[in-house]
Homo-oligomer: A and B are copies of this chain.
């Protein structure tokens, strides 16, 4: 409450400062106080740093594209992953956003392709199925272009709802479907895991030999 109050009618001494703070604080998780700290930092740095940041942000908006096949961020019409002839195009991993692709790519364990939904169904946030790229996914299945769909949405109520919504539409095509394994993180202590995760990791236990192969 107090923190809010100190910024009501705050005198920024400069309309340029105030404007920069206001714009910066539009970003999620950046309050006025943090914005002011960041902006004052930039003021102390060489002008080239601010110019480079501004340029990079404008370029981002004007130059970036989205892959016509998987909706991944790309500098070309078809992204590098979809263009990679080494990858199996008939195995598609469904994810919420670009960060999930990065995280999975980083494991070097996956050789299929992706389909980025752009979010998950969430009535509270006003996100319906029509706001997500579900139609194009179902079309791929319809056209027989898919052997396996891997559901890799986050295991929240919204994620489960979205999974189920998609599943209902592709069920009749009898393709293989799977979800990524949920369980205790590698290296995590059992005693700190939440009950649901621990319960699921026992129910979905895998043959011991499999765990040896993975590592």
Chain A residues close to B by CB (< 8 Å): 2, 5-6, 9-17, 19-20, 22-24, 26-30, 34, 36-43, 47, 49-64, 72-75, 79-81, 97-99, 101-103, 105-106, 194-195
User: Contact: A23 with B6, CB < 8 Å?
Assistant: no
Residues from chain B with a CB closer than 8 A to the CB of A99 are 36-37, 40
Residues from chain B with a CB closer than 8 A to the CB of A41 are 27-28
How near does chain B come to A57, taking the closest CB pair, in angstroms? 5
Once bound together, how far apart are the Cα atoms of A51 and B52, in whole Å?
14
Residues from chain B with a CB closer than 8 A to the CB of A10 are 102, 106
How near does chain B come to A153, taking the closest CB pair, in angstroms? 17
Q: List 23 A-B contacts (CB under 8 A).
A: A2-B194, A6-B195, A11-B106, A13-B81, A13-B98, A13-B102, A14-B74, A14-B75, A15-B75, A16-B56, A20-B56, A23-B56, A24-B56, A27-B53, A36-B102, A39-B60, A40-B97, A40-B98, A40-B99, A42-B60, A43-B64, A47-B62, A50-B60
